[in-house]
Amino acid sequence: MEIALRMREPIAPQIVAALRQGIVELQLRPGEALSEAEIAARFGVSRQPVREAFIKLSEAGLVEIRPSRGTYVMKISARELANARFVREAIECDIARNAGRLATAEQVLELRRHVDRQRVAASHDDYRSFNDLDEAFHRAIADIVDCDYAWRIVESARVQTDRVRFLSLPHASPMPLLIRQHEAIVERLAANDPDGTEAAMRRHLREILVALPQIAAAHPDLFADTELPAHTRGLTPVD
């Protein structure tokens, strides 16, 4: 959760980003109390932007503000994660389909560079960089379609899925597997194959459903619930 604040820019969004990273990477553990005063002192700011950051994180489902009791990191909800993944699949598969007909050779080349950078991160077991590069890869595909609104919704949904994705990288969804899935998406884009690009993206986004039971069993203290909603029944990455 290391960040140097840019004092000429709005402070609260920077604190949101730093705390979000800390929550995703488990530097701030589920159930942990967050002190407004301590965080303000850590970043060298007043309490007001920290308070604003807590509100934003509460809206994102990452912290719970308990009146007169404090602010706490939310435990992971398998149900909320599955619902966020459902939204991502609905939007990102349509993005992928459209990107499959719109992608230029230069855009495909840039996506290959993204995958190459992920390969380097994986070779160093650099989970933070890999996670950041994963987001950049998906954003680059969305940029091909040129629909900022769709990406903003995806970005909101990623808040939930990123927590489990980070936990999955060492074992349940190892980085080489995710790289192969990204490569499959890029190959279908390069072939200007909308159907194939959509199918490759769908398989990729369903991988988290395969990893989730193993992660929840390994880290029961991090989860508020493990029951999945009806829409996940029967789904596999190859459907």
Find out if CATH 1.10.10.10 is the number for domain 11-74: yes
At the fourth CATH level, the homologous superfamily of domain 77-232 is: GntR ligand-binding domain-like (1.20.120.530)
User: What are the pLDDT digits (tens) for 6-40?
Assistant: 777 788 999 999 999 999 988 999 999 999 999 99
Alpha helices for the chain (secondary structure H): 11-24, 36-43, 47-59, 78-102, 105-123, 127-145, 148-168, 175-190, 194-218
For residue 1, pLDDT over 70 is answered with no
Are the beta carbons of 207 and 219 closer than 8 angstroms?
A: no
For residue 136, pLDDT over 60 is answered with yes
Domain residue limits, the chain:
11-74, 77-232
User: What are the pLDDT digits (tens) for 169-197?
Assistant: 777 678 899 999 999 999 999 999 999 99
pTM score, whole prediction? 0.88
